[in-house]
A and B are shown apart, each in its own frame.
Chain A
Amino acid sequence: MSYMKKKPLIAIAVFVALLIPATMTACGVTNDADSGFLGWLFNIISQLSSGIWLSLALFALTLIFSMPLGLLICFARRSRFKIVELIAKFYISVMRGTPLMLQLLVVYFGPYYVFKLPLSADYRFYAAIIGFALNYAAYFAEIYRSGIEAVPKGQYEASKVLGYSRGQTFMKIVFPQMVRHILPPVTNEIITLVKDTSLAFAIAFVEMFTMAKQLSAAESNIMPLFVAGVFYYIFNLIVSFVMSKIEKKMNYYQK
């Protein structure tokens, strides 16, 4: 029991331990403890370090952009105007119906193939974020929709009779209840996103997974891939821990 309680703490500790060498390398501190297993491990992590930060940045920025964008798409999907609803439906079906990897390629190479714009290495990072955010927004939109539709009709009617405007009804009455409904599926999406950042290799964006692959190939050793796996796993442990905390916090009332 006490182990179970401490599990997230242990996970965070290991995660921080993984990040220390990454930070040190990023700050230009080099490590000359070349001997022994720890030193060797330290070395692998240092070499993955810039990739780790890029993966984290990719993850965080995708979330920051896709979650609000998803809400906009969700509103469009529920619009009174048939045409707006149809556009949103089509968008969602394309984003969910085609491979994310393909979407990344289209976002990255599209400007070159279609508009003959020169490709730059910098654009890789932006293309990855744009691609991920556009894709995840479609999934979030449907999750939000399920959350909104789970709010009983009576809540809207009570709000209307009390004189709340449509906007006020959404912000004050529907949104807080929706958030509670959607936390479990949102957690699912976030966890998938952590792992999906590795798909950025498709446009040769060198995040952690790509680095681990290269490192493994160069040293013909499985360890870098293994370390990458541990990183994803621990990161997701933390994600589920934080999300379950938030869920608990939202449990202050029952339906």
Chain B
Amino acid sequence: MKLLEIKNLKKSFDDLEVLKDISLSVEEGEVVSILGPSGSGKSTLLRCATMLETMDAGTLDYCGESAVSEIDGKSVYAPKSEIKKIQNYFGLVFQNFNLFPHYTVLKNITDAPVHIQKRGKKEVEEEALELLNQMGIEDKVDYYPCQLSGGQQQRVAIARALAMNPKILFFDEPTSALDPELTSEILKVLRFLASQKMTMVIVTHEIDFARNVSDRVIFMDEGYIVEQGKPEDVIDNPKNDRVKAFLNKVKNA
């Protein structure tokens, strides 16, 4: 089943055309990594998919339900009530975590499920503890984000996103703000989630991680998807020159 389907997405900021024509679909249980140089539009693609940016043209469907349709070459968003429902299908983990600094770890995770999704507080809290357990930070329940390391904060952010029970989880460079040691903490969590068949779309610069974990790798450049396929094909035997040049640079760094 297709969880996410984007067709012919275009997005400009003023005169700068960031996404030129992007089509992408993600199947249930699939792990997709998006690679590419800075400024290639990876983050913008994720922000359009999570509706933090509005699309200029193209369509966006989640689980077969239309969030954005296209009329006369322009994107048209579904009514608010429909969008609110669709928002429950996905979660997003940010590069710089964006935890709520005035909430404890537990409240960061449980506030939205309890007050937005109107689920039972007890049930949500039990689930939150279970998630923290999986993340290996069950002892940090009552801490404030500022008392945690970057890696721990990011794990809380992942738990916060998972607590909403999304069908698909987006990661926007989840390890870019972390040092190598903390990065490996997060990658471990992502590997665990992949083993649980969580559907994920991950924008990353971690080539080795992308090769090991993803079912599919997408390479973006200048607003286009220039190559995609199995990780061993795209990363080890790229056909596109731009991809070759980029991977060479990254590998020799």
Contact = CB atoms under 8 A, between A and B. Distances in A.
A254 B101 contact: yes
A160 to B, nearest CB: 7
Contacts of A155: 98, 100
Contacts of B84: 163
Contacts of B224: none
Contact of A172 (B111, B160, B161): B111
A181 to B, nearest CB: 12
A79 interface: no
Interface string A225-239: 000000000000000
B231 to A, nearest CB: 27
Contacts of A162: 112, 116, 160, 164
A42 B115 CA distance: 58
B102 A154 contact: no
A255 B52 CA distance: 23
B94 interface: yes
Q: Which of A158, A161, A163: most chain B Cβ within 10 A?
A: A161
B87 interface: yes
Contacts of B99: 158
Interface string A160-192: 111110001000110011001000000000000
B50 A158 contact: no
Contact of B94 (A158, A164, A255): A158
A252 interface: yes
Nearest to A164: B116
A173 B91 contact: no
Interface in B92-120: 92, 94, 96, 98-102, 111-112, 115-117
A253 interface: yes
A157 B117 contact: no
B200 to A, nearest CB: 15
Contact of A157 (B98, B101, B115): B98
B250 interface: no
A59 B207 CA distance: 64
A161 B87 contact: yes
Contacts of A173: 100
Contacts of A157: 52, 94, 98
B112 A164 contact: yes
B150 interface: no
Interface in B53-110: 84, 87-88, 90-92, 94, 96, 98-102
A229 B213 CA distance: 73
Contacts of B223: none
A255 B146 contact: yes
Given A163-B84, A252-B144, A254-B146, A158 B91 contact: no
B145 interface: yes
B87 A163 contact: yes
Interface of B: 50-52, 84, 87-88, 90-92, 94, 96, 98-102, 111-112, 115-117, 144-146, 160-161, 164
16 contacts: A152-B98, A154-B94, A154-B96, A154-B98, A158-B98, A158-B99, A158-B100, A161-B87, A161-B92, A162-B112, A162-B116, A163-B84, A172-B111, A253-B101, A255-B101, A255-B146
